[in-house]
């Protein structure tokens, strides 16, 4: 299929008039890192292209003399005149823009990407900037910064779940170097798995998801790690309140081969031990408790020659929690091998093989009830992504992908000394997924650009498995038997055809209107029955009884830049409809239940909203202001008496302001303020007595809203003086989280009055409503260094 496609394209293109190709790559001059999304603009034809995810660009032009202007956010522009009378390969090294504090800042040509690009509902994060912003416990987290963007909702204080335009936390395709991460959270979501030291770029798509990516309904978060400095050896790191980080990078062979290793470990457990030793903590329940996580990112890249480059990248992260004989740990591992190949000068191919594994284990130490419970999800995949730079007006992308997944819901292994429980294992699920896509980014004329594509996915639930048969309704009483399937034998096929289109109409130099539509399918489902997924939440594939989920989204936006692109502004509205939205029956039994379809209900959902965004990327003052008004509802027969209800992450108003100001070369001060309307949750409205207990009676799903959330954080960063010839320098970051110490409700619930006191009443019919709050004011300090 691929080859015939290439062949077809070959014929198509060879019939075109003779032209020459200007291609190449854009890099950071200090460390050789390629720059993603850098703009390459040809003045004479008033057209430009952007570098792809591997820093490569290509543009096909008639013979002539051209002025090439290269620009990228945070770098000085580069201009070169090129005489094009043969194919030309250009490597541009951009130097970092340094703000002058003596004179008025003038930065001539800023990119007008915000207005010009066909992409909408998409934001690229500036990794350097986020390191200056305030952070909880001083631990910089890309996900927490993404949560302050419009259209992205936060479910709870400090939680790293992303709820994008009405989608659940399980509807985000989160990729690290092209490999999906199935549980991107540490410490129950307090931190994400992404160590900011290792990251090169992070881009979130809330809509207009390119046809290259599929598999999740609501968003794509494309995270790429650094390739490693190919010029000189560097060490950097940081020491913070709860974690330390160390990154080593350097050339193995100058300009040819480089590596990077980045590690992070928290030490809450070490603090606990010290606290116990000092007798400031004396709680037997947490004595000897284990509570830590670590991350390790590693990457090697090797430039074989100008047309071939290899990347080998790995991520491993683990959380370990344990106290009083019980333990829970979970880990993610991904590894990616990529090969970039350039055919001629216009066809770029990236071939990826990746492996991703998520697993968790619960255990209890020995005794007659000691046990281990293990579960995992493994994926092995292969994909090929081609970009063909046809001419300055057309950039074609196409590719294929195959993936094999094994989902082990759980194995229960009693200890040898265990005499109470028996060993058992739930049969794993298996699936194959094949996808093919084709898309084109086309500049129709000076005003209109369109990116259109189609993605087709074949998803197969396969053996080995034993599939339960139901006679009629799907419940435990209607089981009529079961059917066994051999390894790789087809159980059920699912098809998904996903059209993706985004278009831009340029009104004038400063403004444009954009519209997009995309359909997405999700063939795997996360079994989570709470507002936030748990590390123990299980992924399962679509099966004969669990249909794939589907979403349609349309968005319309107005984009305008001010003051010569110094300020970027946008206003977008969206409407999204969810088909086969999943939820669980009341009192669903989802633990160790292989017939999970008996507990699942299916319905529909819809979400709509308005997003306003103003961002300033350059100058002494940078930052953004965002406002979102949104509504998300679900209607699932069997829940809330069949009536529509608000999703548990539905927040009407969200407002964020993020500001960072460089006071001098050495000083930076930053602040942010976040506001979110209260999220809905379910609370009992009546009480009754049963046996000894006071029990709540619930009138409906999500019948109450917790109070609104708001918080202000501030930080100051001071860097050591940079001196001529001085190689190492450090910086201190002081952060204060929740400056005005607001006791924001994390949740609200009903409990017995006098709970936990010695005179806990047994027959007293009194309950009270309480709010739980996590953090008030938290100061933190972090020291970062560079050698």
Q: Could you say which residues in the range 411-450 bind other proteins, by CB under 8 A?
A: 412, 414, 418-422, 424
Interface with other proteins, residue 290, by CB under 8 A: no
Interface with other proteins, residue 284, by CB under 8 A: yes
**How many CA atoms does the CB half-sphere of 403 hold within 13 Å?**
29
Give the burial class of 636: count Cβ atoms within 10 A of its Cβ; 0-12 exposed, 13-18 middle, 19 or more buried.
buried
Query: Whole-number minimum distance, CB 376 to other proteins, in Å?
Result: 19
Query: Whole-number minimum distance, CB 173 to other proteins, in Å?
Result: 23
Stretch of 91-99, 110-118, 214-222, 529-537 lying at the interface with other proteins (CB under 8 A): 529-537
User: Which residue, 474 or 774, has its beta carbon nearer to other proteins?
Assistant: 774
Q: Which of 34, 115, 68, 24 is nearest to 568 (CA)?
A: 115
**Cα distance between residue 534 and residue 527, in whole Å:** 9
Interface with other proteins, residue 534, by CB under 8 A: yes
Stretch of 254-262, 338-346, 558-566, 738-746 lying at the interface with other proteins (CB under 8 A): 738-746
Query: Whole-number minimum distance, CB 180 to other proteins, in Å?
Result: 23
Please tell me whether residue 5 adopts helix, strand or coil conformation.
helix
Interface with other proteins, residue 687, by CB under 8 A: yes
Query: Whole-number minimum distance, CB 647 to other proteins, in Å?
Result: 11
Query: Whole-number minimum distance, CB 263 to other proteins, in Å?
Result: 21
Query: Whole-number minimum distance, CB 677 to other proteins, in Å?
Result: 16
Find out whether 433 and 213 touch, Cβ atoms under 8 Å: no
Return the H-helix or E-strand segment holding 8: helix 2-14
Q: CA 489 from chain center: how many Å?
A: 34
Characterise 641 by phi-psi region: left (phi > 0), alpha (psi -120 to 50), beta (else): left
Interface with other proteins, residue 774, by CB under 8 A: yes
Residues in 583-612 at the binding interface with other proteins, rule: CB under 8 A: 584, 586-589, 592
Interface with other proteins, residue 768, by CB under 8 A: yes
**Cα distance between residue 518 and residue 763, in whole Å:** 57
Query: Whole-number minimum distance, CB 714 to other proteins, in Å?
Result: 17
**Cα distance between residue 223 and residue 786, in whole Å:** 23
Interface with other proteins, residue 741, by CB under 8 A: no
In our burial notation (b when 16+ CB lie closer than 10 A, e otherwise), range 206-238 reads bbbbbbbbbbbbbbbbbbbbbbbbbbeebebbb
Find out whether 88 and 23 touch, Cβ atoms under 8 Å: yes
User: Which residue, 153 or 403, has its beta carbon nearer to other proteins?
Assistant: 153
User: Which residue, 158 or 228, has its beta carbon nearer to other proteins?
Assistant: 158
Residues in 26-45 at the binding interface with other proteins, rule: CB under 8 A: none
Cα distances from 368 to residues 323, 374, 411, in angstroms, run 18, 19, 18
**Cα distance between residue 525 and residue 138, in whole Å:** 34
Residues in 367-396 at the binding interface with other proteins, rule: CB under 8 A: 367-371
Query: Whole-number minimum distance, CB 306 to other proteins, in Å?
Result: 51
Among 689, 732, 754, 787, binds other proteins (CB under 8 A): 689
* Beta bridge pairs of residue 611: 572, 628
Among 3, 690, 726, 727, binds other proteins (CB under 8 A): 690
Q: What number of other Cβ atoms are within 10 A of residue 593's Cβ?
A: 17
User: Which residue, 663 or 772, has its beta carbon nearer to other proteins?
Assistant: 772
Query: Whole-number minimum distance, CB 516 to other proteins, in Å?
Result: 32
Stretch of 9-17, 28-36, 91-99, 762-770 lying at the interface with other proteins (CB under 8 A): 762-770
User: Which residue, 2 or 772, has its beta carbon nearer to other proteins?
Assistant: 772
* Beta bridge pairs of residue 760: none
Binding-site size for other proteins (CB under 8 A) equals 101
What does the CA dihedral 696, 701, 704, 705 come to, rounded to 10 degrees?
140
Among 699, 708, 710, 718, binds other proteins (CB under 8 A): 699
Angle among Cα 701, 704, 706 to the nearest 5 degrees reads 130
User: 3-class secondary structure for 547-606?
Assistant: CCEEEEEEEEEEEEEECCCCEEEEEEEEEEEEEEEEEECCCCCCCCCCCHHHHEEEEEEE
Interface with other proteins, residue 702, by CB under 8 A: yes
Return the H-helix or E-strand segment holding 778: strand 778-786
Interface with other proteins, residue 325, by CB under 8 A: yes
Among 643, 760, 781, 787, binds other proteins (CB under 8 A): 760
Interface with other proteins, residue 353, by CB under 8 A: no
User: What would the x/- binding string for other proteins be over residues 630 to 649, using CB under 8 A?
Assistant: ------------------x-
Cα distances from 59 to residues 22, 28, 624, in angstroms, run 5, 21, 33
Stretch of 466-474, 490-498, 552-560, 757-765 lying at the interface with other proteins (CB under 8 A): 757-765
Stretch of 52-60, 228-236, 384-392, 745-753 lying at the interface with other proteins (CB under 8 A): 745-753
Please tell me whether residue 136 adopts helix, strand or coil conformation.
helix
Residues in 153-172 at the binding interface with other proteins, rule: CB under 8 A: 155-156, 159
Residues in 508-527 at the binding interface with other proteins, rule: CB under 8 A: none
Among 252, 698, 741, 781, binds other proteins (CB under 8 A): 698
**Cα distance between residue 351 and residue 310, in whole Å:** 10
């Amino acid at each position: 299929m691929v080859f015939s496609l290439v062949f077809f394209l070959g014929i198509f293109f060879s019939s075109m008039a003779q032209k020459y190709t200007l291609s190449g790559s854009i890099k950071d001059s200090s460390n050789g890192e390629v720059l993603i999304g850098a703009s390459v603009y040809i003045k004479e034809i008033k057209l430009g292209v952007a570098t792809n995810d591997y820093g490569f660009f290509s543009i096909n032009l008639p013979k002539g003399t051209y002025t090439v202007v290269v620009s990228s956010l945070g770098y000085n522009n580069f201009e070169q005149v090129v005489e094009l009378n043969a194919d030309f390969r250009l490597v541009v090294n951009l130097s970092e823009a340094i703000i002058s504090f003596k004179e008025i800042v003038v930065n001539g040509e800023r990119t007008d990407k915000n207005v010009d690009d066909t992409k909408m509902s998409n934001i690229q994060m500036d990794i350097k900037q986020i390191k200056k912003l305030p952070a909880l416990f001083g631990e910089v987290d890309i996900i927490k910064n993404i949560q302050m963007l419009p259209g992205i909702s936060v479910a709870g204080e400090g939680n790293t779940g992303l709820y994008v335009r009405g989608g659940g936390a399980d509807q985000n395709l989160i990729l690290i170097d092209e490999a999906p991460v199935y549980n991107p959270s540490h410490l129950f979501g307090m931190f994400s798995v992404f160590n900011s030291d290792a990251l090169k770029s992070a881009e979130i798509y809330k809509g207009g998801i390119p046809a290259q990516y599929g598999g999740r309904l609501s968003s794509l978060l494309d995270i790429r790690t650094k390739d490693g400095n190919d010029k000189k050896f560097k060490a950097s790191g940081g020491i913070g309140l709860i974690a330390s980080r160390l990154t080593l990078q350097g050339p193995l062979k100058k300009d040819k081969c480089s590596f990077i290793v980045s590690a992070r470990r928290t030490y809450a457990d070490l603090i606990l031990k010290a606290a116990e030793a000092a007798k400031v903590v004396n709680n037997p329940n947490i004595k000897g408790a284990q509570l830590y996580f670590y991350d390790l990112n590693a990457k090697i890249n090797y430039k074989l020659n100008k047309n071939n480059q290899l990347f080998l990248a790995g991520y491993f992260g683990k959380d370990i929690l344990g106290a009083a004989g019980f333990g829970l740990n979970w880990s993610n591992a991904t590894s990616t091998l990529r090969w970039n190949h350039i055919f001629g000068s216009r066809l770029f191919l990236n071939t990826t093989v990746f492996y991703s594994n998520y697993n968790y284990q619960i255990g209890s130490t020995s005794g007659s009830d000691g046990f281990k419970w293990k579960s995992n999800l493994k994926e092995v995949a292969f994909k090929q992504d081609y970009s063909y730079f046809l001419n300055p007006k057309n950039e074609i992308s196409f590719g294929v992908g195959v993936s094999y997944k094994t989902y082990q819901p759980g194995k229960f292994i009693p200890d040898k000394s265990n005499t109470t429980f028996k060993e058992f294992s739930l049969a794993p699920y298996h699936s194959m997924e094949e996808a093919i896509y084709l898309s084109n980014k086309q500049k129709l004329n000076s005003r209109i650009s369109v990116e259109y594509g189609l993605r087709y996915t074949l998803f197969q639930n396969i053996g080995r498995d034993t599939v339960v048969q139901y006679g009629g309704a799907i419940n435990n009483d209607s089981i009529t038997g079961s059917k066994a399937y051999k390894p790789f034998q087809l159980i059920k096929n699912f098809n998904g055809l996903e059209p993706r289109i985004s278009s831009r109409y340029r009104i004038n130099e400063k403004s444009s209107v954009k519209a997009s539509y995309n359909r997405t399918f999700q063939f795997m489902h996360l079994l989570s029955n709470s507002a936030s997924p748990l590390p123990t939440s299980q992924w399962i594939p679509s099966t004969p009884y669990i249909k794939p989920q589907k979403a349609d989204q349309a968005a319309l936006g107005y984009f305008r830049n001010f003051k010569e692109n110094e300020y970027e502004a946008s206003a977008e509205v969206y409407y999204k409809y969810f088909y086969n939205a999943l939820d669980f029956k009341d009192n669903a039994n989802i633990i160790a239940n292989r017939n999970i379809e008996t507990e699942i209900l299916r319905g529909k959902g819809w979400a709509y909203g308005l997003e306003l965004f103003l961002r300033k990327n350059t100058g002494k003052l940078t930052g953004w202001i965002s406002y979102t008004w949104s509504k998300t509802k679900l209607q699932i027969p069997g829940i809330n008496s069949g009536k529509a209800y608000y999703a548990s992450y539905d927040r009407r108003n969200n407002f964020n302001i993020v500001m960072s100001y460089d006071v001098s070369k050495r000083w930076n001060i930053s602040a942010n303020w976040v506001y979110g309307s209260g999220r809905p949750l379910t609370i009992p409205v009546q009480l009754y007595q049963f046996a000894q207990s006071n029990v709540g009676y619930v009138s409906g799903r999500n019948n109450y809203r917790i109070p609104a959330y708001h918080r202000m954080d501030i930080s100051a960063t001071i860097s050591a003086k940079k001196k001529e010839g001085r190689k190492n320098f450090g910086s201190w970051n002081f952060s204060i989280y929740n400056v005005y110490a607001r006791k924001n409700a994390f949740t609200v619930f009903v409990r017995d009055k006098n709970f936990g006191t010695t005179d806990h009443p047994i027959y007293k019919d009194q309950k009270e409503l309480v709010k739980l709050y996590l953090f008030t004011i938290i100061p933190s300090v972090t020291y970062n260094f560079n050698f």
